[in-house]
Chain A
């Protein structure tokens, strides 16, 4: 399979602190790749670098061969790299459906002035966004909550809404930031099934996660970071038996890495 996203020699320094140090890996098309590592390993920084929310000190990120690091976040999103957020980052005072509709922004063909004047293109856009939003809500099991104000949703549904917003942008690669954080076992299993379904629909997924059992279940491949450096890369089975990984997690319970 071809490489969709390529991270090469990516480095980010904050003053004297090297948060991400010379990390390289690539994400293949239609795969689920997880980035794991102990707290402070640089996962979040790496995530922000890939989604262009931070600029790398050196190195670069390429999507389908095109350099996307150094772009503004909204332009990276336009190119097809879209992130979801940790916790509950949604438009909290809009309804669930409105949240998903607004996230179709990238697909709009009408200009802002077109929307202001209510031209035919703008109306066609609105209708298409509405229909597509309904499909996405259906897919993620949110249809019954479409009219609900987003801030009133329970935790598990909020996470699903976050993913719905990401999907609406029609990304080439969806970056999920700790999609299982704060979820109980059942919710996690449901989310694992959902993410797998997204992949079946042809999406490529890169996720950053703490929940080891879920990561082991969901990932095709795993990249392990420690102190900002990549210490291992491979299938879940390979990672579970990697000495360096076990060492990095030493001090934490063995079952934390699924042993």
Chain B
């Protein structure tokens, strides 16, 4: 793709997300779609994190743990300590990143299925911790979390108080979409800079990477920390939208879904997790009409897709572009 084409496609994407979607939704009156699309945006942020760990050659089925952690950190800071939501957002991300460094240092030495199993357990550990810790209010969860207040810098209000808005759904949608764009921009830049090549070198051959002087342990932990930061931020916004968080808000199923989003979209493409999340989320909803067969059809479709499109949906676009 030429430089101009790239700029044009980014502009088109931004126009769709920030202008076309709100206009279409208000024209059709289907404001419930805001909630759906907000969820897609947030889930794709968490999935982008998982994608990044795939990029260093690790199968990560533990993103649910960080989403849960981020949600609780934000909720506790807002409810118990009266912080502004806007401060808790980066705080949740940083808390998760710090936790992932502590957890990652030992477990990132594992490879393949061993790492995958440990991360799978991590989600369950997070749920049990949320049940047991005194600050999380146990199984009752944290409820009636206030909506995000106003964000002002030097008296200038940048983001109004969500509670005063007559359409907080739109506000949440714009917030989630903006964060999604920012996160994918970061991942895109990471992948297309030298860091991306270093991550690839880890994925393809860790021993060789370390013999050419790459500090593999450090790079792995950094990638995992960025990944968990994304998970934490997504979780924090989820808690704010639903104004509640429970130990069961993010479970093993969510962790698996984050990973499936990446598979479905394509592990070789930065925007794979975004497309994967969109398709999976709407695909599941569309199949709702099939009633009891929903899960059966859904699973069959997933298996077929993975058999015939092992490199994900975006590999379709890539091959047609090559041929044309």
Contact = CB atoms under 8 A, between A and B. Distances in A.
Nearest to B216: A74
Interface of B: 189-190, 193-195, 197-198, 200-201, 204-205, 207-208, 210-217, 222
Interface in A104-123: 105-106, 108, 112, 115-116, 118, 122
B205 A89 contact: yes
Contacts of A83: 211
A134 to B, nearest CB: 17
A82 B210 CA distance: 10
Contacts of A82: 211-213
Contacts of A51: 211
Contact of A85 (B193, B194, B198, B208): B208
Contacts of B195: 112, 115-116
Interface residues of A, number: 35
Contact of B208 (A91, A98, A115, A122): A91
A165 B212 CA distance: 8
B17 to A, nearest CB: 24
Contacts of B190: 116
Contacts of A98: 197
A73 B211 contact: yes
Nearest to A51: B211
- Chain A interface SS verdict (over half): helix
A168 interface: yes
B210 A72 contact: yes
B59 to A, nearest CB: 17
Nearest to A122: B194
B212 A103 contact: yes
Contacts of B197: 94, 98, 101-102
Contacts of B207: 53, 73, 85, 89
A83 B211 CA distance: 6
Contacts of A103: 212
A90 B212 contact: no
